[in-house]
Structures are given as structure tokens and as C-alpha cells.
Amino acid sequence: MSHESQNHNGQQNHNGQQNQNGQQNQDQNGQQNQNQNPYGDRYAGLAGRTAVVTGAASGIGEAVAVLLAASGARVALLARRGDRLESVVEKIRADGGEALAVVADVTDDASVDAAAATIREAYGSVDLVVNNAGVMLPNPVDDGRIDEWRRMLDTNVTGVLRVIRAFTGDLVGAAAEGRTADLVNISSIAAHIAFPNYGVYGATKAAVTYLSQALRIEFGPRDVRVTNVEPGLTETELATHLDNDELAGQLDGMFDAIGGLSAAELADVVAYATSRPRHVNLRQIMVLPTRQA
């Protein structure tokens, strides 16, 4: 009995040493991951997934692609600026992630279809789509800028639909196989709050918010989650689209007074929503700086 006790205690000590070493290794690995990804392994549920992010050359799209890849997803980055896409992809790969640059224009049917074919050839079926590509071109409606209206409608609304059409089969198929499947649409607080001279832009975002709601009725029963994210003031390239000096100055004043969210903070929201258990849908997320009413 004494001998058994000695063996038992010795085994405990041996295992204890192993656990301590293992913990040290985990701590070291965790520190390495932390250096690459400020969120650590918080989004481990994204590992092994295949994602498509539009508008990924800058801003929210870039930040989302970087964080998804850092969390273990394979990410196809879509945008029109090939050189910029390649730069982001190089950064992701340098940090140990897997990414693919795909030059595509969401306002062109053939371009979106070709992009989808390229992605499937490289990565197979897609189970996570982030519709982020968009433009913001505010001006008074009585200026009659129909060129701007068409561009916003074709990018912000029809562009979203083109991407959804290209990947609906993938998402539904992934869900049918028991995998997590997500469609994330980046809308705007402007879908609910009217800002002077932003009427058409706000209308396009209201369309995205309504579309997301309607798609939950169609996709939800097939286990595809639809999440609509509505950011408030956020530091992106959208402000550079403005050609109205007065409105540009007003926007700068809002950022000075309120402060904006970073693109990385919006990416954090997207990663959190898409890494939940597959039966949990964060369907509608409004994200504002604290000072923005």
C-alpha cells in the first residue's frame, strides 16, 4: 500500500511537471499569436472556414479580411485595385494567414461571376461572405447628380445582390452539410437616421438593411445566418469620395467633435458575430462611437 502510494504520488508529480511544461508552451504560443492578432484565439471558431470579403483593398473590408485570416480562415479578398489587394494579401501571408487576391468589380455581372469561379477553383466552397464594398457620394438632391445616384445604387445595392447571387449556393450547401454559414452585409446608421444631403446614400443603406431582414426569412430556415452591421462614424476611405468641400468640412467637424470608430473595431464585431455557435444569429448590430447619439 505504501509502494502504491509512492507510485501514485510520483505519477502526480510527473504529470504535474508535464502540465507545467505544457502550460508554458501554451503561454509561449499564446504570446506569439497575441503578437500577430490582438484578439488572440478569441475567434477560434473561424479556423478552417472559407471567407469572401468585398471592398477588401482598404478600410473595413481590409480589416475584416486581416482579422478573419489571423483567426484561421482562408480569405478571398475582392476589390478593383489589384496592387492594393496584393499588398494586403502579402501582409496576411507574412503573418501566417492564407489569403487570395481577386480583382473584381461588384458593379459588373461577369466580373463577379468570374471572381466566384476563381475562388472556388482555389479554395472550394465558401461558407462566409462579407458584403462590404460601397461608395458614399452625398450631395443635395436638387443638384440632380444622377451619375452619383446610379453609382451608389449599382454598388451599394445591386452589387450586394450580385455577390449574394454568386455565393448563395455555397452558403446553403455548407449549412446543409452541418457547417456554419454566414452572410454579413455592411450597411450604415444612415439606414435609420437621415442626414442632410445624404438622402440617396441613406436610401441605398436602408435597402441593404431591409434586404438583410428579408433574406433571414429565406435563408434562416436553411441554417444560413444573415447579419446586418450598421456602423456610425468610422475612419475609412469613404470620406475621400466626397467632391463637395462644404460637406467634407462638415464630416471632418463631426469626427473632431465625436471621434470615429476604427476599421479594426468594426472587424472585431464581424469576427465576433461569425464565430458564435451556428445556431446563434446576431442578426442586427448597430455600432456607434459612444458620443454619437
Active site residues: 201
**Positions of E strands within the chain:** 50-54, 74-79, 98-103, 128-131, 181-186, 224-231, 284-287
Q: How many alpha carbons lie under 13 Å from residue 61 in its C-beta half-sphere?
A: 29
How does strand 98-103 pair with strand 128-131?
unpaired
Sheet holding 128-131: strands in order across?
A: 98-103, 74-79, 50-54, 128-131, 181-186, 224-231, 284-287
Please report, in angstroms and rounded to a whole number, the separation of the first and last CA atoms in the chain: 72
Sequence-ordered alpha helix ranges (H) in 108-244: 109-123, 146-152, 159-176, 199-219
CA–CA dist 288, 260 (Å, integer): 8
Neighbours of 286 (CB within 10 A): 15
CA–CA dist 210, 205 (Å, integer): 9
